[in-house]
Amino acid sequence: MRGRFLVVIAVLVVLAGCGSSPGDPSTVGTERGTLSPEPTAATATTADVATPTTAAAPARTPTSASTTAARTATRTSTPGPPSTATPSPTATSPSTAADPSAPPRSPTAEDASTAANGSGIVVENGSLPVDPDRVFDRVASVLGTDVAPPSSVIVREDPENFSAGFGSASVPDFWSLVGVTRSEPRGSVSVVENGYTTALGEIVLYPGAEPNATSVSWLLAHEFVHYVQAREGRVGDLRRALGATSTDDQFVQRAVLEGSAATATDAYIDRHLPDSRSNSALYRAIAAAYPAGSYQRYANAQYVEGVEYVRERVDDPAATDQLYATPPRTSEQVIHGLSPGVEPAKPLAVTLRANGSEFAPVGRDTMGEAFVRTVLANGVNESRAAAAAAGWGADRRVIARTDDGDAGHAWALRWDDAANASEFVATFRAYRDGDATGADTAIRLTRVSDETVVVLVGDPRFVDAATANGTNDRVTVIINTQNSS
């Protein structure tokens, strides 16, 4: 099956109180994640059924071989109706056997013996081709943790529960307005194993129609890392450090969680499935499968950038405590491998005055450098978009709505200096010339100072009526009543 393309679908929910159906990422709850086409690679093995645990080894550098898939997206609400928050994908989904002449291995009585005997981790609602206790013990060794294993793993046989696509089922209005929408992956695809883990420790897997030992081992390993993260309170650590209320906060949170999980899974693969491709290589394949300006590419960037950030800062997947306690604060720091205190976001305050207009402020958000480069990549090439976004200093988006639900957005962006602001303005114009948002989208850019610009987008009445002025660190947007009706 080497060379076949796969879509790997997976979900990890790491917030207490999860369970809302997929939708606008401003809600808190389960987020679906569709992974991109990925060639299968690993040869099926029974390593996690019978082979004794080996000594810990350092995490390896990603290779060209990878087969798991993990995707999750968590969402955090911001004040007011549909303000966006990061689609935070997570989960793991390995691929099937790579040998074209060898079909995926079906589960056997020997493989499921632990669960069948009622000892250790119970497999509910089905069976798995690997011993989950052995996989968990090995993951615990990689992480250097004494967290007790989960009591059970739940098998689901309906892949439709995992197939809503990368991130939420619908793209938030603002994202669509600036051109960030869903795209189809390149190449033919099919669904393979996937799973998710809740903050309460419930692990749910779809092992595939014909489960393969290597694939399921990889899937379990990644999900067990998330289980340990939940049990050790890592999400709480990140929330306390970040606030985790904005799109950019959520990008950082997911980058740290997923970067740590993929790094640990790579170490597990290196020690116990040495002929398999790394977990982290999967995310690079996903990046290649989707356009740079797509919603899926943004979601996947949390994994790609997260892995790189974690690898730059820790040498051992068991030594990530400091990452959770003092994480990066912005996606800029994640992307460029910066410490939390280096290049912090610049001060920026935005005030929206309705002045009797039917549009009233209802919410705020911070989008971050990662989002800016995704937006620009819809109208210019990827390298130019990344270069223009790299001068990001801060941003604030204010959402205004009418009683009928019509929305306008005032998105202020402050840059590191005047030269970076000018580069963004020029790139933004080229992005618009590329018709990235559609000719009928009401959108206008105003430069209010040397370092700060404001993008007005949304309902044409809002865009036409709004004026923006201010300084580098303070912006006022006024909606003129006479023009907004």
For residue range 221-242, what is the model confidence (pLDDT) as tens digits?
A: 999 999 999 999 999 999 999 9
Of the residues 307, 336, 365, the one at which a domain ends: 336
Percentage of the chain modeled with pLDDT above 70: 70
Does 203 fall in a domain?
A: yes
Residue 67 has what pLDDT? 29
User: For the chain, what is the domain count?
Assistant: 2
Does residue 381 sit in the same domain as residue 318?
no
Give the range among 120-124, 195-199, 248-252, 319-323 with minimum mean pLDDT.
Answer: 195-199
Does residue 364 sit in the same domain as residue 223?
no
pLDDT class for 114, splitting at 50, 70, 90?
A: very low
Does residue 251 sit in the same domain as residue 110?
yes
Full domain range(s) for residue 263? 7-336
Q: What is the mean pLDDT of the chain?
A: 77
Q: Are 78 and 55 contacting, i.e. CB atoms less than 8 angstroms apart? A: no
Of the residues 289, 304, 336, the one at which a domain ends: 336
* Cβ atoms < 10 Å from Cβ of 119: 10
Does residue 406 sit in the same domain as residue 472?
yes
pLDDT class for 136, splitting at 50, 70, 90?
A: very high
Does residue 67 sit in the same domain as residue 215?
yes
Distance, in Å, from the CA atom of 198 to the CA atom of 109, rounded to the nearest integer, reads: 28
* pLDDT average, residue stretch 169-194: 81
Does residue 389 sit in the same domain as residue 305?
no
Give the range among 174-188, 313-327, 344-358 with minimum mean pLDDT.
Answer: 174-188
Does residue 134 sit in the same domain as residue 249?
yes
pLDDT at 181 over 90: yes
Does 401 fall in a domain?
A: yes
Does residue 87 sit in the same domain as residue 208?
yes
Does 1 fall in a domain?
A: no
Distance, in Å, from the CA atom of 279 to the CA atom of 222, rounded to the nearest integer, reads: 9
Does 419 fall in a domain?
A: yes
pLDDT at 481 over 80: no
Does 423 fall in a domain?
A: yes
Residue 201 has what pLDDT? 86
Does residue 301 sit in the same domain as residue 216?
yes
Does residue 301 sit in the same domain as residue 389?
no
Residue 199 has what pLDDT? 81
Residue 168 has what pLDDT? 52
| Residues shown for the chain | 485
pLDDT at 117 over 90: no
Does residue 324 sit in the same domain as residue 358?
no
**Strands, sheet with 152-155, edge to edge from the N-terminal-most edge strand:** 122-124, 152-155, 203-206, 194-197
Does 344 fall in a domain?
A: no
pLDDT at 261 over 70: yes
β 203-206/152-155 pair status? parallel
Does 171 fall in a domain?
A: yes
Q: Are 375 and 331 contacting, i.e. CB atoms less than 8 angstroms apart? A: no
Task: Annotate 130-154 with b (16+ C-beta within 10 A) or e (fewer).
Answer: bbbebbbbbbbbbbeeebebbebbe
* pLDDT average, residue stretch 433-447: 83
pLDDT at 96 over 60: no
Does 469 fall in a domain?
A: yes
pLDDT at 104 over 70: no
* pLDDT average, residue stretch 172-176: 95
Of the residues 305, 336, 367, the one at which a domain ends: 336
Higher per-residue pLDDT: 33 or 286: 286
CA dihedral 335→336→342→343, nearest 10 degrees, is -80
Does residue 197 sit in the same domain as residue 112?
yes
pLDDT at 23 over 80: no
Render pLDDT for 390-426 as a digit per residue (tens, 0 to 9): 999 999 999 999 999 999 999 999 999 999 999 999 9
* pLDDT average, residue stretch 345-368: 95
pLDDT at 456 over 50: yes
